[in-house]
């Protein structure tokens, strides 16, 4: 059987983003687990703010079609998102909104995991709830119960981008193992 294909999507475009750093660490951990990993940046898929009139006039933008194809080409998706005002950051929400114009196809048939990093004490926990509501309730995505939040993320990585707290690293690996296990079960004929 071909290796499991996992897409890692940071919900931030900032180069110094703690969530981009966490996404990089997650991608490295998945590679160590013999998974075929693709890590993307939403900056490579520039999209106008979703507008029904725009869609009627011009259709779904090509970057959204490419992003939809990326999601459909993978067995599982890990979304690593910052928290903006207790919710999903605009760049990520806009991408989800444009992808939903293809119906639920980009979200069903694959397994999702959600993670967040923040310098605060909650570690982005509120965005994880918002992502679950958007992806699971509204779009029918299968999100595993395990999720990962990283508080004090500005002090959580060593010089190589690895987590320094062994307990947090165990929680992250438990989430990734759960993702792999469920995605493997889902792809069986």
State the residue for tokens 């196809």. Answer: 105
Tens-digit pLDDT profile for residues 27-55 = 999 999 999 999 999 999 999 999 999 99
CATH number of the domain within which 66 lies: 3.40.50.360
Mean pLDDT over residues 19-24, rounded? Answer: 97
Mean pLDDT over residues 67-89, rounded? Answer: 97
**Six token digits for residue 160:** 């190589």
The domain total for the chain is 1
Confidence of residue 187 (pLDDT cuts 50, 70, 90): confident
CA angle at residue 77 from 73 to 82, to 5 degrees?
135
CA distance 10 to 79: 6
Angle between helices 18-32 and 166-187 (to 10 degrees): 60
Are the C-beta atoms of 9 and 38 separated by less than 8 Å? no
Task: Give residue 189's pLDDT.
Answer: 61
What is the DSSP code (8-state) at residue 135? I
CA distance 117 to 135: 19
The answer to whether residue 15 scores a pLDDT higher than 90 is no
Task: Give residue 128's pLDDT.
Answer: 98
CA distance 141 to 132: 9
Percent of the chain with pLDDT over 70: 99
Q: Domain range spanning residue 55?
A: 5-187
Task: Give residue 109's pLDDT.
Answer: 86
Are the C-beta atoms of 32 and 10 separated by less than 8 Å? no
Tens-digit pLDDT profile for residues 115-169 = 999 999 999 999 999 999 999 999 999 999 999 999 999 999 999 999 999 999 9
The answer to whether residue 188 scores a pLDDT higher than 70 is no
CA distance 50 to 110: 24
Task: Give residue 1's pLDDT.
Answer: 73
CA distance 129 to 166: 25
Are the C-beta atoms of 172 and 32 separated by less than 8 Å? no
The answer to whether residue 173 scores a pLDDT higher than 90 is yes
**Six token digits for residue 150:** 């990283």
The answer to whether residue 67 scores a pLDDT higher than 80 is yes
């Amino acid at each position: 059987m071909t290796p499991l294909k996992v897409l890692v999507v940071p919900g931030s475009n900032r180069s110094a983003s703690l969530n981009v750093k966490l996404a990089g660490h997650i991608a490295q951990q998945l590679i160590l687990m013999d998974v075929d990993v693709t890590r993307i940046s939403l900056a490579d898929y520039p999209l106008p703010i979703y507008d029904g009139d725009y869609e009627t006039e011009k259709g779904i933008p090509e970057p959204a079609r490419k992003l939809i194809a990326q999601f459909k080409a993978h067995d599982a998706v890990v979304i690593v998102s910052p928290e903006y005002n207790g919710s999903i950051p605009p760049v990520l929400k806009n991408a989800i909104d444009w992808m939903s114009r293809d119906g639920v196809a980009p979200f069903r048939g694959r397994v999702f995991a959600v993670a967040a990093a923040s310098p605060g004490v909650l570690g982005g926990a509120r965005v994880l709830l918002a992502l679950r509501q958007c992806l699971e309730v509204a779009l029918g995505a299968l999100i595993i119960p395990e999720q990962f939040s990283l508080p004090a993320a500005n002090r959580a990585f060593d010089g190589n981008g690895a987590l320094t707290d062994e307990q947090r690293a165990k929680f992250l690996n438990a989430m990734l193992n759960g993702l792999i296990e469920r995605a493997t079960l889902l792809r069986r004929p």
